[in-house]
Amino acid sequence: MQRGLRPEVIERSRHIGASWLGHYERLHLHTVKELSSLPGLPFPEAAPRYVPRAQMAEYLSSYAAHHHIRPNFGEQAVEIVRDGTGWRTTSSTGRQFRSKAVVVATGANQAPVLPACEGQQDFAGRILHSRDYREAAPFAGQRVLVVGMGNTGAEIALDLVEHGVRAALSVRSPVNIVHRDVLGRPTQRTAMALARLPPRWGDAAGRLLRDLTVGDLRRWGIATPAESPLRQLREHGKTPVIDVGTLARIKSGEIVVHPGIERFTPSGVRFTDGREAAFDAVIFATGYRPDLERLFPQTPLALDDRGLPRETCGTGPLRGVYFVGFDIRQPGGLLQTIAAQAIRVANEIAQQAAPS
């Protein structure tokens, strides 16, 4: 709108910030508020350094009001197809929106990935994806296994033990772990500084810092990759675990780390090392996929091996389509990347719309 264009916004939920309110309750940003705001409106000064999920949802509502953005609620995009020289977007209610440009900002976490494990149908306990976890209270008095030690899995395990639940982690692969702050300095800022160095130097410095601050975790069942956190992020889009207390609980024995799952048993799980353990519930923190292909049934997409678009501004058959919020390979965090992409995309759309 600042460039003289009024966008039509469609939103599948009934209110702004619904996805943030749907996350587990203890969630906070891992990036500092100064580097996490969107263009044109900083976070309030009173906001904490790491903004909690509810305040993030409030910020998004304030952002929309500040910029006079009025979404069409309850309209989920189900199909985007060519319409002459532009595009036609059909929503779940059957409405059609025609436009010269389409900005897809549905995010990388659309469809939960829930692996099928042998014996799963015989397990007497509860199985759920991390998307359906909100708080520890429903698991009081239970034994819970969290499968996957990304940021979500690590924090859910921490939330459980903080509320007296017996929790364990299943960690199949080596994990890069960094502390959220080192000597009061946010790791986000350190990562951004290291990323400005030649990759060889930045990676070496990142490995050294990780090894000095986190150390060798093999005695607790966690292997460390040979790759630095920066290289893993840059080349594979795999964010390191930003530790906010899970490691201390692992080292104290409150969270037991197991290897990958071989199969389910009626009362629990058999792990790949041959050991078995009983559990009342298993939470799969095994990630999501973007599920973009369903939106473009007639147009091939240039996607990487994780289903993420390779470009922000579409070219060729995708000219006029823009993908914002899918680049998870940047060291400054996704929100900072979204802010930069929003400005770039707005500039390009305005330039394309300008009379020649």
Domains of the chain by residue range: 10-110+289-353, 112-287
Q: How far apart are CA 59 and CA 37, in angstroms?
A: 9
Identify which of 295, 5, 335, 321 has the alpha carbon closest to the alpha carbon of residue 312. Answer: 321
Supply 258's token pair: 């197991």
Question: Alpha carbon of 58 to those of 34, 61, 215, 299, 312: distances in Å?
Answer: 16, 5, 38, 36, 27
Supply 78's token pair: 């189900």
Supply 193's token pair: 């500084």
Among 160-169, 244-253, 266-275, 306-315, where is mean pLDDT lowest? 306-315
Digit-coded pLDDT (tens) for 9-25: 999 999 999 999 999 99
Average pLDDT (185-207) is: 96
Q: What is the dihedral of CA 8, 9, 10, 16, to 10 degrees?
A: -150
Position 4 confidence tier, pLDDT thresholds 50, 70, 90: low
- At residue 147, does pLDDT exceed 90? yes
Digit-coded pLDDT (tens) for 26-58: 999 999 999 999 999 999 999 999 999 999 999
- At residue 356, does pLDDT exceed 60? no
Architecture of domain 112-287: 3-Layer(bba) Sandwich (3.50)
Are 33 and 50 a contacting pair, CB within 8 Å? yes
Q: How far apart are CA 163 and CA 144, in angstroms?
A: 12
Protein fold of 10-110+289-353: FAD/NAD(P)-binding domain (3.50.50)
Are 315 and 294 a contacting pair, CB within 8 Å? no
Digit-coded pLDDT (tens) for 64-90: 999 999 999 999 999 999 999 999 999
- At residue 155, does pLDDT exceed 60? yes
The H or E element that residue 96 is part of is strand 96-99
Identify which of 340, 333, 338, 233 has the alpha carbon closest to the alpha carbon of residue 30. Answer: 333
> What pLDDT does 1 receive?
58
Supply 73's token pair: 């609620």
Tokens 């991390």 belong to residue? 130
Please tell me if the domain spanning 10-110+289-353 has the same topology as the one spanning 112-287. Answer: yes
What does pLDDT average to over the chain?
A: 95
Position 5 confidence tier, pLDDT thresholds 50, 70, 90: confident
The predicted model scores a pTM of 0.93
